[in-house]
Chain A
Amino acid sequence: MRRAYVMHAKLALQQMFAYRAGFFLGLLGNFFFLLSMFYLWHVLLKNPRFTHALGWDWSQMKAYLLIGFVTGALVSTFTDYTMANRIRTGDVALDLVRPVDYQKARFSEAIGIALFELCTAILVCAIVVAVFGGMQPPTLQAGLLFTVSLLLVVPLKFGIIYMSGLLCFWTTNYLGVSWSRQAIVNIMSGALVPIVLFPVWLQGLANVLPFQAVVWTPARIYLGTIHGTEAAMWLAIQAAWGAGLWILARLMWKVAVRKLVIQGG
């Protein structure tokens, strides 16, 4: 059975090569977004108020933005769009007559795609670093913890996009759901503005939501602003969110399937 899931991952990865033109266009879009973030924050950090509040300088901010870029690219929008589309057209019927767990199969596909996303994102990072100059490498301990945290982003983001894809059972239109989700994740993860610059009440909210674990947790570990037991605690929270969303998604699936209406006969 495990081999079936490995095969899902493999085929999804293979499919990415068929979609590569579209994928690279999307990547190019994200790259320009990253560039504008770079210029924006380059200007903002000239103001000592920001450097003071953040507690880090331009070199660290560059690392922060790149981490936001990588975690943003990881498990982005393929799995959920495919799901939403199949639910909308009724092709999901064919997913249901296969003896595989729907959620695990989609997760396997997401992992296959994530391999592709990770490789391309790292490539872009290398180019950016070459152009904008070096960033401080993390300490060995921070580097290891960061790697773990980056891996934990995969199940976490999967939970988020999978559940938003499942919303198609209710809405039958995915565009609105997808846009809202992207906006919420961008803001509440700290991808646009580091969470420490939020008003206090919003910081409180961000810290109890799962989205901060997408950017804020791995970035702070990389930069060393949290380390030791504090870093371990946030890693645990990140892992717990991944597991929690997985279970929540299972419950949501159970309700969704009962509600299923196959479109188009």
Chain B
Amino acid sequence: MALIETRGMTKVFRTPLKGPGLAGSVKHLFTRRFTDRVAVADVDLTIEAGEAVAYVGPNGAGKSTTIKMLTGILVPTSGEVHANGVVPHKQRIQNARNIGVVFGQRTQLWWDIPVRESLALLKEIHRIPQDRYEATLQSFNELLELEELLPVIGRRLSLGQRMRADLAAALLHDPKILYLDEPTIGLDISVKDRVRAFIKKLIAERGTTVMLTTHDLGDIEDICRRIVIIDEGRIIYDGDLQAVKDTFARERSMHFQLQHPPADPAAIAARVPGVKLVAGEKPVQLGVHFDRFEVSAADVVAAVMTEADVIDFHIDEPAIEDVIRKVYAGQLDLSAAEA
């Protein structure tokens, strides 16, 4: 059996139906009406040990609800969930020993006491022996720079510091599975990089299975090889990240900085058929868009260099961002990528 397996996992929330304004609220006190909202519908998910899976979708798609069912916080309305041989919501405590959880918008640190004490509590909760505890802190220190955070009181941490401490807190007991629910939300670039590097190191060195929800597509490309896209509670794509990019993100673009404006742009296009030329902001700038499977970057460079004096150029690789944006906008049918 896979490490994480769900079959037909469904969560329906019952929300009160209130009329507008105070009158509606008062009326609701006496005649309660509810509406059922399906947050997660019939999700089948299989994750093997050691995988790093990105779980993406627009706001309200059911990402967090899925994570909360896998972690045993929420009870599914129907369907089956197994994680590491236990049913999370039934064996909550046993499940909690195997997992680490980071919610980007919440903290598991105590608010009014130093970080060191919060970690010490987790040490006792997870029964981590002293020597292993110290070794783990030591190994986290390199990328998270924990040392400087240990004496700081929870509420005095900046967002970036808090996330570093929260990551350490979630991983002290070396869990088999790490659930990250928007771990980089609101972080600046340098902290983001550090968080990603830390997670990558964890996957490489400890073989931790990671499930990551995020809106930051940089996180996905950096950490995950597999992507699951969910929309309106349903999985609309589950597969290789590279395959999605190969199918839907074929367009590569090169940007040239030239000595002089090109005398005859059409001549460049004629040398490499299939490319599209785009004028830059200045006459000495030139953009070339092409299908990276049809045309090689070397051919494009050669063509431009024959027709103009090139000072500098760079390549923009296709980003998963564009693909997902198209999926959200309903422009793409992802089933094509699975074929």
Q: Do A and B bind each other?
A: yes
Q: Cβ of B125 and Cβ of A99 under 8 Å apart?
A: yes
Cβ of B93 under 8 Å from chain A: yes
- Given A99-B97, A100-B125; A90-B113 close (CB under 8 Å): no
Name which of A13-21, A41-49, A50-58, A191-199 contacts chain B.
Answer: A13-21
CB distance from B183 to the nearest CB of A (A): 14
Cβ of B259 under 8 Å from chain A: no
A18 to B113 CA separation, bound complex (whole angstroms): 8
Instruction: Give residues 169-223 of B contacting A (CB, 8 Å).
Output: none
Contact partner of A260 (CB less than 8 A), chosen from B74, B112, B122, is B74
A98 to B97 CA separation, bound complex (whole angstroms): 7
A99 to B121 CA separation, bound complex (whole angstroms): 12
Known: A18-B153, A97-B73, A97-B99. 4 other contacts (CB 8 A): A7-B121, A15-B110, A97-B72, A262-B64
B250: chain A residues at CB < 8 Å are none
Name which of B101-109, B136-144, B157-165, B229-237 contacts chain A.
Answer: B101-109
Question: Can you spell out 11 A-B residue pairs with CB atoms less than 8 angstroms apart?
Answer: A7-B120, A7-B121, A7-B125, A97-B73, A98-B108, A99-B93, A99-B97, A100-B93, A257-B75, A260-B73, A265-B64
Q: Smallest CB-CB separation from B99: which chain A residue?
A: A97
Contact partner of A11 (CB less than 8 A), chosen from B13, B68, B106, B110, is B110
A18: chain B residues at CB < 8 Å are 112-113, 153
B108: chain A residues at CB < 8 Å are 94, 98
Cβ of A93 under 8 Å from chain B: yes
Interface residue ranges, A against B (CB under 8 Å)? 1, 3-4, 6-8, 11, 14-15, 18-19, 90-91, 93-94, 96-101, 257-258, 260-262, 264-265
- Given A11-B121, A100-B93, A101-B93; A262-B110 close (CB under 8 Å): no
Cβ of B25 under 8 Å from chain A: no
Cβ of B254 under 8 Å from chain A: no
- Given A19-B112, A265-B64; A4-B93 close (CB under 8 Å): no
Q: Smallest CB-CB separation from A2: which chain B residue?
A: B124
Q: Cβ of A99 and Cβ of B96 under 8 Å apart?
A: yes
Interface residue ranges, B against A (CB under 8 Å)? 13, 64, 68, 71-75, 92-94, 96-97, 99, 101, 103, 105-108, 110, 112-113, 117-118, 120-122, 124-127, 153
Q: Cβ of A97 and Cβ of B113 under 8 Å apart?
A: no
A90 to B94 CA separation, bound complex (whole angstroms): 22
B13: chain A residues at CB < 8 Å are 261
CB distance from B207 to the nearest CB of A (A): 21
A257: chain B residues at CB < 8 Å are 75
A43 to B103 CA separation, bound complex (whole angstroms): 58
Contact partner of B113 (CB less than 8 A), chosen from A14, A99, A101, is A14
Q: Cβ of A93 and Cβ of B106 under 8 Å apart?
A: yes
A262 to B71 CA separation, bound complex (whole angstroms): 13
Q: Cβ of B68 and Cβ of A262 under 8 Å apart?
A: yes
CB distance from B212 to the nearest CB of A (A): 16
Q: Cβ of B106 and Cβ of A97 under 8 Å apart?
A: no
Q: Smallest CB-CB separation from A3: which chain B residue?
A: B124
A4 to B117 CA separation, bound complex (whole angstroms): 12
Contact partner of B124 (CB less than 8 A), chosen from A4, A90, A96, A97, is A4
Q: Cβ of B105 and Cβ of A262 under 8 Å apart?
A: no
Identify which of B73, B113, B117 gathers the most chain A CB atoms within 10 Å of its CB.
Answer: B73
Q: Cβ of B75 and Cβ of A258 under 8 Å apart?
A: yes
Q: Cβ of A96 and Cβ of B75 under 8 Å apart?
A: no
A100: chain B residues at CB < 8 Å are 93, 125
Q: Smallest CB-CB separation from B74: which chain A residue?
A: A260
Contact partner of A93 (CB less than 8 A), chosen from B73, B122, B126, is B73
CB distance from A214 to the nearest CB of B (A): 28
A94: chain B residues at CB < 8 Å are 101, 103, 106-108
Q: Smallest CB-CB separation from B94: which chain A residue?
A: A99
CB distance from A109 to the nearest CB of B (A): 11
A31 to B60 CA separation, bound complex (whole angstroms): 50
A265: chain B residues at CB < 8 Å are 64, 105
Q: Cβ of B121 and Cβ of A91 under 8 Å apart?
A: no
A15 to B112 CA separation, bound complex (whole angstroms): 6
Q: Smallest CB-CB separation from B125: which chain A residue?
A: A4
A257 to B73 CA separation, bound complex (whole angstroms): 8
